[in-house]
């Protein structure tokens, strides 16, 4: 293993994995802190997905350190702390405290911090984070329910979360390339700075920063900054040219989609799927019972499995969601549907399904938990940000695609299986 990464949430981890695979590194995402003795996958990079973004500070630090210890034991040469490209955190953390703990544990004294992801509109200029054309604190992130970002100056934001000091490598330096960026970071470290926020406006900047940090024990940032890491390892003779970094094993079997996202994109994707695949719409308002709904759905799927992919959806337009929430309460409604879909996914796998698409972030969490998935080997992307993966854990290995609600083109549910067949 060359790179060992710790991500502060699940979908962020997958995002980083996809970036590494694109950079020619075979990558596995591990869910939660691996147990001591959990076998080390034979890959170039492992990303440990935590749920530490909004956890209590101590828990976030402890889990991150436990993940680091496992990655070190597994032989990783360089470490990466992945957080959101909008620097999602509170005054208390968790980016600062976790980074402090990792810097201390590695004894490296310094780490760069760069959440920039120009492809997604996240750029940093003079230490200020922009989302599209507006500052972070005017992007809507100032109203985030858990991590409101009310200051776009990342030097200030990170300074409030650490007892170390924070410097800046400005645009004019980064724009000169890797050598100038490396020298600037070395100077900041010599001046006693623990962190450098590094400006980046284009992918060329990210490549330069990645190259400049080739000798760093720890990098921190969004997935964008990982864009050049594969090239670093190749240059050092540690990573061969791999044409097969996204290769997954062939796993044949019945195919299914389970959808719990009510996002606009998913509703449109279901609309498209209705013209091509058998679709069952659950009606939690009429039958607010997970056992009954899942039994009905599994018996509906029964004789269809093995033919075309089957689609089972709880997804509904806002007025239907509101009706269920009015009846059960918001949390109960979500929990009921998640429990139902997780049971359905479990039943489908028990009936032989080996290629499964799950739509919805929370829904994916519920399904992965229920299936006992421990790790995901990352394959090729179906659409940006949604790769096929090979899931392994307590059940049989299967091909699993976990789609964030708003991701994917309209033909996603059809295209996903076509890609596997090709
Ligand atoms: P997304 O990625 O689009 O945000 P999530 O799975 O994260 O999707 O969130 C969708 C939430 O909506 C889940 O908690 C799911 O259980 C809930 N949900 C799905 N269908 C319904 C429905 N018909 N009524 C009420 N809540 C629903």
pLDDT of residue 46: 98
Averaged confidence pLDDT in the chain: 95
340 CB near ligand 1 (under 6 Å):
no
CB 200 near ligand 1, within 6 Å: no
164 C-beta closer than 6 A to ligand 1:
no
* CA 16 – ligand 1 centroid, Å: 24
Based on the fold, state whether residues 83 and 145 are members of the same structural domain: yes
365 lines ligand 1 (CB under 6 A): no
Residues 64 and 196 in one domain: yes
From 11, 284, 334, 370, mutation site for ligand 1 pocket: most ligand atoms within 8 A of C-beta: 334
Model confidence pLDDT, tens digit, residues 302-320:
999 988 999 999 999 999 9
Q: What is the pLDDT of residue 422?
A: 82
337 lines ligand 1 (CB under 6 A): yes
Any domain includes 230: yes
Residue 280, CA distances (Å) to 120, 149, 179, 254, 371 in order: 34, 40, 58, 16, 21
Task: Say if 240 falls within a structural domain.
Answer: no
Domain boundary among 235, 265, 300: 235
Residues 227 and 303 reside in one and the same domain: no
* 28 or 140, higher pLDDT: 28
Q: Which of 287, 343, 362, 404 to mutate to test the pocket of ligand 1 (most atoms within 8 A of CB)?
A: 362
Residue with CA at minimum distance from ligand 1 atom 10: 261
Does residue 271 share a domain with residue 159? no
Asked if the model's pLDDT at residue 244 lies above 80, the reply is: yes
Q: Say whether 101 sits in a helix, a strand or coil.
A: helix
Q: Which of 261, 283, 327, 406 to mutate to test the pocket of ligand 1 (most atoms within 8 A of CB)?
A: 261
From 260, 282, 318, 338, mutation site for ligand 1 pocket: most ligand atoms within 8 A of C-beta: 260
> How far away, in angstroms, is 163 Cα from ligand 1 center?
40
Rounded average pLDDT over 333-358? 97
Is residue 288 over pLDDT 80?
yes
Q: Is the pLDDT of residue 326 over 90?
A: yes
Q: Does residue 147 lie within any of the structural domains?
A: yes
334 CB within 6 A, ligand 1: yes
Q: What is residue 375's predicted lDDT score, i.e. its pLDDT?
A: 95
What are the beta bridge partners of residue 117? 122
Q: Give the domain CATH number at 68.
A: 3.40.50.10840
CA of 417 to the centre of ligand 1 (A): 23
Residues 19 and 157 in one domain: yes
* Residue 249, in any domain of the structure: no
Number of domains forming the structure of the chain: 2
In a domain, 376, yes or no: yes
Residue 336 CA: nearest ligand 1 atom is: 16
Identify the pLDDT of residue 88.
Answer: 93
Q: Is the CB of 52 under 6 A from ligand 1?
A: no
Q: Would the CB of 360 count as within 6 Å of ligand 1?
A: yes
Is 247 inside any structural domain?
A: no
Q: How far is the CA of 410 from the centre of ligand 1 (A)?
A: 19
Question: Would you say the pTM of this structure is higher than 0.75?
Answer: yes
Q: What is the per-residue pLDDT for 401?
A: 97
Q: Pull the structure tokens for residue 43.
A: 């890959």
pLDDT of 345: 98
* Ligand 1 centroid from CA 363, angstroms: 7
Tell me what pLDDT residue 385 has: 83
From the CA of 341, give the closest atom in ligand 1. 16
Residue 199 CB contacts under 8 Å (≥ 6 apart), including other chains: 116, 124, 125, 126, 127, 168, 169, 170, 171, 173, 174, 205
How far is the C-alpha of 295 from the C-alpha of 297, rounded, in Å?
5
Give distance in angstroms: CA of 11 to centre of ligand 1: 16
Q: What CATH number does residue 266 fall under?
A: 3.40.980.20
Helix runs in 46-202, H state only: 57-73, 95-106, 154-161, 171-174, 178-190
Which residue's CA is the nearest one to ligand 1's atom 25? Answer: 321
pLDDT above 90 for 195: yes
CA of 313 to the centre of ligand 1 (A): 10
Q: What is the DSSP code (8-state) at residue 142? A: G
- Domain-located, residue 246: no
Q: Do 227 and 264 sit in the same domain of this protein?
A: no
Domain membership of residue 89 (yes or no) is yes
Same domain? For 51 and 190 the reply is: yes
Q: Answer yes or no: is the C-beta of 362 below 6 A from any ligand 1 atom.
A: yes
List own/partner pairs for 296-304 with CB under 8 A and 24 or more apart: 297/340, 297/344, 297/347, 298/344, 298/347, 298/348, 298/351, 301/256, 301/348, 301/351, 302/351, 304/278
Average pLDDT value for residue range 69-78 = 96
Q: Does one domain contain both 230 and 259? A: no
pLDDT for res 156: 98
**In whole angstroms, what is the distance from residue 286 CA to residue 266 CA?**
22
92 and 202 housed in the same domain: yes
pLDDT at 38: 81
CA-closest candidate to residue 409, choices 387, 392, 388, 384: 384
Same domain, 213 and 172: yes
Fill in the DSSP letter of residue 85: T
Name which residue sits closest to atom 6 of ligand 1, judged by CA. Answer: 360
Let me know whether 39 and 145 are in one domain: yes
Same domain, 264 and 226: no
- Residue range 29-50: average pLDDT? 92
Confidence of residue 36 (pLDDT cuts 50, 70, 90): confident
Ligand 1 within 6 A of CB of 315 = yes
Band of residue 300 on the pLDDT scale cut at 50, 70, 90 = very high
If you measure from the C-alpha of residue 43 to the centroid of ligand 1, how many angstroms do you get, rounded to a whole number? Answer: 34
Q: What mean pLDDT is predicted for residues 259-268?
A: 93
Which domain does 39 fall in, by range? 3-235
For residues 399 and 354, the answer to whether their CB atoms sit within 8 Å is: yes
Q: Has residue 82 got a pLDDT over 80?
A: yes
pLDDT in tens, 111-154: 999 999 999 899 999 999 999 999 999 998 998 888 899 999 99
């Amino acid at each position: 293993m060359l790179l060992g990464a710790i991500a502060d949430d699940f979908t962020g981890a997958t995002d980083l994995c996809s970036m590494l695979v694109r950079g020619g590194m075979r990558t596995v995402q591990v869910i939660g802190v691996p147990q001591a003795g959990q076998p080390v996958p034979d890959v170039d990079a492992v990303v440990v997905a935590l749920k530490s973004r909004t956890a209590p500070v101590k828990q976030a630090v402890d889990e991150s350190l436990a993940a680091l210890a496992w990655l070190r034991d597994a032989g990783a040469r360089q470490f990466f702390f992945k957080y959101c490209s909008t620097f999602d955190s509170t005054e208390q953390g968790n980016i600062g405290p976790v980074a402090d703990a990792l810097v201390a544990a590695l004894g490296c004294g310094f780490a760069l911090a760069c959440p920039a992801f120009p492809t997604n509109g996240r750029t940093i200029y003079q230490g200020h984070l922009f989302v599209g054309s507006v500052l972070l604190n005017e992007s809507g992130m100032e109203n985030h329910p858990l991590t409101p970002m009310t200051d776009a100056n990342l030097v200030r934001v990170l300074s409030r979360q650490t007892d170390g000091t924070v410097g800046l490598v400005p645009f004019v330096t980064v724009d000169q390339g890797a050598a100038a960026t490396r020298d600037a970071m070395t100077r900041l470290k010599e001046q006693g700075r623990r962190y450098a926020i590094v400006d980046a406006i284009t992918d060329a900047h990210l490549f330069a920063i990645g190259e400049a940090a080739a000798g760093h024990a720890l990098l921190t940032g969004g997935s964008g900054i990982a864009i050049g890491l594969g090239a670093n390892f190749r240059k050092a003779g540690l990573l061969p040219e791999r044409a097969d970094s996204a290769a997954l094993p062939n796993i044949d079997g019945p195919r299914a989609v389970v959808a719990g996202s009510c996002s606009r994109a998913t509703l449109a994707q279901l609309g498209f799927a209705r013209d091509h695949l058998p679709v069952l719409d659950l009606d939690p308002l009429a039958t607010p019972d997970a056992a009954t709904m899942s039994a009905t759905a599994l018996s509906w799927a029964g004789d269809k499995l093995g033919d075309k992919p089957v689609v089972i959806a709880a997804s509904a337009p806002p007025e239907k969601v509101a009706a269920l929430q009015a009846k059960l309460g918001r949390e109960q409604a979500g929990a009921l549907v998640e429990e139902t879909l997780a049971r359905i996914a479990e039943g489908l796998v028990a009936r032989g399904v080996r290629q499964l698409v799950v739509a919805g972030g929370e829904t994916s969490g519920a399904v992965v938990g229920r299936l006992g998935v421990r790790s995901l080997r990352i394959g090729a992307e179906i659409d940006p940000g949604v790769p096929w993966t090979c899931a392994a854990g307590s059940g049989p290995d299967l091909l699993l695609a976990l789609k964030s609600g708003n991701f994917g083109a309209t033909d996603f549910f059809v295209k996903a299986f076509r890609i596997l067949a090709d």
